Amino acid sequence: MERKANRAIIRKILLTEWDPIGVSDIPEAQDEYDAYADTVFGMLANQTASVDAIAQYLFKIATEHMRLSYPELTARCDKAARAVAALQSDR
């Protein structure tokens, strides 16, 4: 997995598909989820990532770290996880 290109793709997925705090349209916040993108990239690079594992990680970040809770959150986590996991099959 090419680190720079795939990290950028994961970053974009987190901003467009996950974006639990709604910052995707704010230019100054484009790096908001970079730390999480790095972790997800690591999960993919180490081939330890299933869709469920990624979704659970994103949900945990949103609910425990960001203290968010709203009806669409689970669906956002699942959608982002599916998009990220699809990168594994693109290798």
Q: What are the boundaries of each domain within the chain?
A: 3-20+31-89
DSSP H or E segment with residue 62: none
For the stretch 1-18, pLDDT in tens is 476 788 899 999 999 999
Handedness of CA 10, 63, 66, 42 (dihedral sign): negative
d(CA 61, CA 58): 5
d(CA 78, CA 17): 9
Question: In this predicted structure, what is the pLDDT of residue 17?
Answer: 96
Question: In this predicted structure, what is the pLDDT of residue 48?
Answer: 66
